[in-house]
Amino acid sequence: MTQPAEALIYLHGYNSGVEKAMKKLGQLLATGRFPEYIKPILFSWPTGKVLSYWCAIEEASSASTCHEFEMMLIGLR
């Protein structure tokens, strides 16, 4: 019997673009020795730098970002 797939959802932090987040996720996977049934997923949400902190907070907590995260979880289920 095969093990059902499980998702590992990586949510990057503030001040981290997609490229940096992918590198960190790749490093985690390379050093973490996860079993093959673990499927990595990167959820990239709007972030920014020091001067755009408040805009990034507003975008990250927006209805559209929350909806996209919810749709990803529903899709995985």
Give pLDDT tens digits for 29-63: 999 999 999 999 999 887 766 667 777 778 778 89
Q: What is the pLDDT of residue 49?
A: 65
| pTM over the 0.75 mark | yes
Q: What is the pLDDT of residue 53?
A: 74
Q: What is the pLDDT of residue 61?
A: 82
CA 49 to chain centre: 18
Note the pLDDT tens digit of each residue in 6-27: 999 999 877 778 888 999 999 9
Task: Go through 46-77 and write b for each residue having 16 or more CB atoms within 10 A of its CB, e for each that does not.
Answer: ebbeeeeeeebeeeeeeeeeeeeeeeeeeeee
